[in-house]
Chains A and B, each alone.
Chain A
Amino acid sequence: MIDFSSVADNFNVIYPELALLIGAFAVLLLGTVKRFAGLCTSVAGLTALIALWLAVDQFGTQQSGFFGMVTCDAFGSAFKIIFIAIAIVTMLIAHRFMIVKQIARPEFYALVLISTFGMIVMANTTDMIVMFLGLEIMSVPLYVLAGFARRSLQSNEAGIKYFVMGAFASAFLLMGIAFVFGASATTDLRRIVADFSYIIYHSGLYMYVGIALILVGFGFKIGMVPFHAWVPDVYQGAPTPVTAFFSAGPKAAGFAVLLRLFMFGFEGVAELSSIFWVLAVLTMTAGNVLALLQDNIKRMLAYSSIAHAGYILIAFAVGGEDALSAAIFYSIAYAIFNLGAFAVVVLLETRSGCRSDFSELAGLSKASPYLCAVLALFVFALTGFPPTIGFFGKFYLFSTAVKAGFIWLAVIGVLNSFVSVYYYLRVLKVSYFDRVEQPALSVSYTPAITLVLLITAAGTLGFGLFPQKLLEFAQSAVFAFL
């Protein structure tokens, strides 16, 4: 019989994500009544704030529930905070954009909340089958969000491409999980780690096949080269706030699960280090080189996100606690400045007739100097110039690589950063120095997006000057890594 007295304890573990879920249901219900539809945004925002508060409250505790299916360790609860913060920022960015583009629907907020729920489920478990389901709960709303502008052919196409690639990747992932299950008779990473040498000895081959297939599945999800072909298309075609969400949330979630799988679960496989070495080099080089050729800002940011994924993959090759905290640190840093950069792009796109090509930036420094200055800050962070958080993130990542003896990896990383300087600075060159016949259209700020710009700019600069707090956060997330 099930012991019902402990049910309440189980729910303790999942309060933050439950709040998100209830918020999503409330939004869906309110959205059906025309009179209340206007409330949806505030309801969604409010529940996300409550969830954030609950998650912060939960941070640092170590709990598990539902027969070990949910594990809320420091690592998981740290990522809870990150995901919810990203969701809040996305909703703030999206509000005005959706109205301007005439695709404002209350369901948007519900989908963002449910997708965030999926990310939290993914990051807060050690059971692979729950990870798979969490991944699906995260992805299905994302497919819909990518195709959210139903009357835009580009958005349709982005949705279909994302869907086909996502479903293809899930099939690989499922096959991988099936083989790992076959090799170890369990899907719980803790039990796999406990019996790792026994499993490898008795059914190592199935285990290796499973691990390889899982790596392919997640490679698609995080846009690792050679599974990156969908990234630029989807980033360009999806509505821009959705793209911002893609580049921050699912990416961080994918890395959270990859970290748990490959730095905890399958840590015993020695060959993985050299595989990740190759993947990291391929991913960052291909991302940076292809980004050089782009004329569309969203496409350029897509390739840059591939390149940044490559930097984070360095941590997988290096391994160990320092690399883990460096990866967490870099994920957070990337989410902050990338969301900021996308907020600027969204703001520019709310001007009429803009498709975020580079040429539209011309004359921006005259028309809106403050926005241009903020954009410059984010570009510096993406490039990795001091004193921004981007510099510190890269410094931390590369220095752990050097310390662990991966000197060539760090050198290639630094060289890649030099390549990236060229295309990032092109943004600034066009907006500051290109001449235009007619002055650029000015942008109209809303309180929401101004708030986002202020927060992300403050984060980029503040954590760049005083990284200690964020570093402690990243290290404490590692401390209780199950």
Chain B
Amino acid sequence: MTLDLVIFLISSVVAVFGATMMITQRNPIASVLFMILSLLAQAVLYIQLGALFMGAVLVIVYAGAILVLFLFVIMLLNLRGRESLGQPSPPISLTVKYALAVLFVLELIMVVKSSFSSDVFADAGNPGVMVMQTDNFGAVNDVAVLLFQRYLYPFELTSILLLVAIVGAVILAQRSRDDDGPVDAASSGESEGKAAE
């Protein structure tokens, strides 16, 4: 058992564990923290795959910014997971959902596994094994050259995407003076809790 394999096993188990805990927690804050754990483990996998820069970006941007945004919203709305989640879904639909998801995972794994020993990467040396890593694979410099030359256009598109996300978020969450509750609240009799603000 090589060190490589040990690192892979530990980090993949942690990644899967974090993800599982994330979807099963009641308290959303714990959920976010488990998600961050899973992301850190995934970042280790990235680095093991030679993606040094992207591993760093994953930690900084994803764990550091996006999930903090989630935390921020949870704190803002004061969600502690104490809210009663009401009646659970009817067992039949729940079973169907789980069955579908499990089937789907099994199928993906089967597909991936069946290509395990085939000559998927015949050109890449040994079947199913990665080619030898070139020097500096995944260095910031090389990624940047690719990003700003060949992929300049998609890169610029992301700027527009971010702009429209900002505009959209402001439109949706902004609170103007004439806002006082929903206009068609007739059928919603569930404002037991106190207002969010």
For the complex, give the distance between the alpha carbons of A111 and B164 in Å. 7
A133–B108 CB distance below 8 A: no
Interface stretch among A150-158, A247-255, A288-296?
A150-158
Chain A contact residues, majority secondary structure: helix
Q: How far is the CA of A452 from the CA of B184 in the complex (A)?
A: 29
Shortest CB distance B30–A (Å): 22
Q: Which residues of A contact B152 (CB under 8 A)?
A: 66-67, 69
Interface residues of A in 130-151 (CB under 8 A from B): 130, 133-134, 136-137, 140-141, 143-144, 147-148, 150-151
CA distance A350 to B150 in the complex (A): 49
Residue B158 interfacial (CB < 8 Å): yes
B161 contact from A129, A137, A154, Cβ within 8 A:
A137
The answer to the question of A21 belonging to the interface, with a C-beta cut-off of 8 Å to chain B, is yes
Q: Report how far A69 CA is from B185 CA in the complex, Å.
A: 48
Known A151-B181, A205-B120; contact A66-B168, beta-carbon cutoff 8 A: no
**Chain B residues near A66 (CB, 8 Å)?**
152-153
B167 touches A111 (CB 8 A): yes
Residue B115 interfacial (CB < 8 Å) = yes
Q: How many residues of B contact A (CB 8 A)?
A: 35
Q: Report if A117 contacts B (CB, 8 A).
A: yes
Interface membership of B3, Cβ < 8 A: no
B123 proximity list for chain A (CB < 8 A):
202
B183 touches A152 (CB 8 A): yes
Give complex CA distance A156, B183 in Å: 11
Q: How far is the CB of B127 from chain A (nearest CB, A)?
A: 11
Chain A 172-212 interface 0/1 with B at a Cβ cutoff of 8 Å (1 = within): 00000000000000000000000000000011011001000
A66 to B, closest residue via Cβ: B153
Interface centre among A130, A140, A147, by most B CB within 10 Å?
A: A140
A121 interface contact, C-beta 8 A:
yes
Q: Is B153 within 8 A of A70, CB to CB?
A: yes
Q: Residue of A at shortest CB range from B162?
A: A140
State how many angstroms separate the Cβ of A226 from the closest Cβ of chain B: 11
Chain A contacts for B181, CB-based, 8 A: 151
Q: A109-137 CB contact bits vs B (8 Å, 1 = yes)?
A: 01100100100010000010110011011
Q: Are B167 and A28 in contact (CB under 8 A)?
A: yes
Known A-B contacts A147-B172, A151-B181; the reply to A137 vs B114 at CB < 8 A is no
Query: Do B184 and A133 touch (CB < 8 A)?
Result: no
Say whether A130 contacts B154, CB under 8 Å: yes
Given contacts A67-B153, A153-B185, contact A110 B120 (CB under 8 A): no
How near does chain A come to B102, taking the closest CB pair, in angstroms? 17
Closest Cβ neighbor of A185 among chain B residues: B123
Inter-chain contacts of A67 with B (CB < 8 A): 149-153
Tell whether, in the assembled complex, residue A110 and residue B182 are in contact, meaning their CB atoms are under 8 Å apart.
Answer: no
Closest chain B residue, CB of each to CB of A151 = B183
Is B121's beta carbon under 8 Å from chain A?
Answer: yes
For A130, give its contact among B153, B167, B171, B183 (CB under 8 Å).
B153
Task: A179 to B123: give the CA distance in the assembly, Å.
Answer: 17
Q: Is A2 an interface residue (CB 8 A)?
A: yes
Instruction: Determine the chain B residues whose CB is within 8 A of the CB of A129 once the complex forms.
Output: 151, 154
Chain B's nearest CB lies how many Å from the CB of A117? 7
B165, CB-defined interface residue at 8 Å? yes
Residues of A within 8 A of B133 (CB): none
| Distance in angstroms between the alpha carbons of A438 and B123 in the assembled complex | 78
User: In the complex, what residues of B have CB within 8 A of residue A351's CB?
Assistant: none
Task: Establish whether residues B154 and A143, one from each chain, have CB atoms under 8 Å apart when the complex forms.
Answer: no
Q: Given A66-B152, A129-B154, A151-B182, check contact A137 B172 (CB 8 Å).
A: no
Q: Mind listing 22 A-B residue pairs with CB under 8 Å?
A: A28-B167, A67-B149, A69-B153, A105-B171, A107-B171, A111-B168, A114-B160, A127-B154, A129-B154, A136-B161, A137-B157, A137-B164, A141-B168, A144-B171, A148-B171, A150-B171, A151-B179, A153-B182, A153-B184, A202-B119, A202-B121, A206-B115
Q: Measuring CB to CB, which residues of chain A are less than 8 angstroms from any residue of chain B? A: 2, 21, 28, 66-67, 69-70, 105, 107, 110-111, 114, 117, 121, 127, 129-130, 133-134, 136-137, 140-141, 143-144, 147-148, 150-154, 156, 159, 202-203, 205-206, 209
